[in-house]
Structures are given as C-alpha cells and as structure tokens.
Amino acid sequence: MKRTAVYPFTAIVGQEDMKLSLILNVINPALGGVLIKGEKGTAKSTAVRALAELLPAMEVVHGCKFHCDPYDANHICDDCSALLQKGEALPMESVKMRVVELPVSATEDRVVGTLDIEHAIKHGEKKFEPGILALANRNILYVDEINLLDDHVVDVLLDAAAMGINTVEREGVSYSHPARFVLVGTMNPEEGDIRPQLLDRFGLSVVVTGEHDPEQRVEVIKRRLAYEQDAEAFIAQYQEEQEELAARIIQAGKLLPAVTIDDKLLETVAKLAVELGVDGHRADITVIKTALTIAAFNGRTEAELDDLKQAAKLVLPHRMRRRPFEEGQLDWDRVESFLAAEA
C-alpha cells in the first residue's frame, strides 16, 4: 500500500503563531513544548505532521531503542555509552523524525516504560521495557486532547520535556534514558481545561481559530482541493520553500549556542514579569530562551527587543493570574507600551 503524502508545512495558510511555536521547539526542544488551544479543523495535527516531514533525515545509532545521536556523547543511553567506553565505533543509520502519538487512555507505565524487578534480582542486571518516552526521544511527541489526560501522566511528560531525561524507579532499582523530544499538546477549551500548575509548565501556548478573512478561507479550500486531487503535484509546488525552511531550521539549531542577550534586555524581561504580576521565574526564563531561539531562527547571534516582544506573545498569555472559572488574559497593549518605554 502506498504511503499517503504529507501536506506541506509551507502550504498551510495563516496560523503564523502556531507554525512559529512549532519551529522554535524543533530548533530548541529545551523550550518545554507548545500547547495549542483551538477548535477542530484548524490544521493543528496537519501542522505537526507536516513539520516532521519537512525536516531532513537525522543520524541515529543503528539498533538503539532510543535512537541516540551518535555525535552527542552527553545525551546517549547506557548501552551506547558502554560501546564508546570499550573504544567501539557507534554504528549509524539515517531516519526521518517521526510523530509519536500518545493516546488519552495511556497509563504511566505505558508512557515511562517498565523495569523487570524479578530479572534484576535473579541476574543482577537491569531489564527495561521501553515506553512511549523512549520512542519519542529526538522525535515529536503529540498529545491530542491533552486536557483529558490524567494529571499525573501530564506531570511525567512535562518533567521529561524539561529535563530531557526519563527516569523509572521501582523497588529501589532505577533506570534512566535520554528523552529529548518536542512536546506538542492540543486541546479544545470547550472540552475542559488544564490545571494552572500544569499549564505554567508548557513553554509556549497559542490559540488557533478558523480564518475570518473570506479570501484566506478561499485559499484554504483551493489548496486542500488541489492537494486531494494530485498530492504529488501539489507537494512539488512547495518543494523549494520546504527545502529553504528546513535549511533555515537546521542552521538555527547550529547557531543557537552562540546567541547572546544583553543584560539590559534581561532586566527588561524581569521588570515586565513584575509589571504583569506573573508568578514564579519560569516565565522570565522561557521568554529569554524563546527570544534567543527567535534570534537564531532569524540568523542573528544577538537577541533584540523585537525578539523579546515576539517571545512574550507566545510565553506569557497562559501564565497570567486568573480567578477560578476565568481565562487568564494578557493585555497586549500594556505589554507593547511597557516595552516601548524600556526601549
């Protein structure tokens, strides 16, 4: 059976904030993922799958169940590390980034994996059965209707996304493996919300709606019909744009470690957080990380005020204090006037 061609990422009409948030998390998975809120039929899952298809194949250790990066000895599993310590070369192969879907009914064991305690006692060695987080390493972990997932499982996901490591402990035996993935959660707010404590731990958050401009809606229809009529011909139209964006993302990932930010801008972010009454320090740190990533995506080695402004739009709305049964709201005019005064 022929594999269905994936809709091109660059062919998606509008939804610029969603597309940017996904791209930034691929460049810098340490941002902590993105929560996409919106009604059905707004290209949420299409964008996630299209982004994975857009990126070129990556090098992995052949046969490794965590598909470790052979060029990154700091983030590899115990088995790959043992091979290096023996002086052996890591066998390599190229694979495409994939989208690993987590079902709403998933249990904690299914997510984190399981340890065979009996085997450990009998043989004195750890036997680990990988879970979804193992599959997700260096991939995109996609959770549709994340607001319906058990809170404890969401906690585990967010912990792994923040740390880049999954640790399983049972009866005094523990096992850790790399779990560096792009976490994408989607939800329809009409079907329930996420606890504020969990909401705060998502790096970025965007709200998507259907296009209200008739011309844009017509363009959505035209492109979809063209894709369904002849997917290969439609994809070929966007091949050059796809390759340019992929190259830009890869280059940004390489540039990111060299990007710096001025102390004055750090102070601006801290003052903005105080001005808006944002709890804790996670918001400040994530705004800075996002601004650095935006600068890298734009090919610069120093973050600017405009990067901070763009980052604040993605990082702050879901962290605003709110009363029970009320939506947190970000007064964007207030943010813009504050940043203008600091400029």
Please identify every residue annotated as catalytic: 282
Angle in degrees, CA 122, 127, 128, rounded to 5:
150
Q: Residue 44: what residue type?
A: K
Q: Is 3 exposed, middle or buried (0-12, 13-18, 19+ CB in 10 A)?
A: exposed
Instruction: Read off the tokens for 242.
Output: 């796809």
Beta-carbon contacts of 321 under 8 Å, excluding residues fewer than 6 positions away, are: 277, 278, 279, 328
Number of H helices, E strands in the chain: 15, 11
302: DSSP letter: B
Phi/psi for 238 (5° steps) reads: -105, 10
Instruction: Read off the tokens for 61.
Output: 């250790």
CA–CA dist 11, 31 (Å, integer): 25
Q: Is 237 exposed, middle or buried (0-12, 13-18, 19+ CB in 10 A)?
A: middle
Q: Angle at which helices 44-54 and 239-255 pack, to 10 degrees?
A: 80
CA–CA dist 268, 193 (Å, integer): 31
| Partner residues linked to 204 by β-bridges | 34
Please write down the HEC assignment for all residues of 35-54: EEEECCCCCHHHHHHHHHHH
Helix (H) or strand (E) holding 178: strand 173-178
**Quick count: other Cβ atoms within 10 Å of Cβ 243?**
13
Instruction: Read off the tokens for 134.
Output: 């193992």
Q: Is the dihedral of CA 147, 323, 22, 37 positive or negative?
A: positive
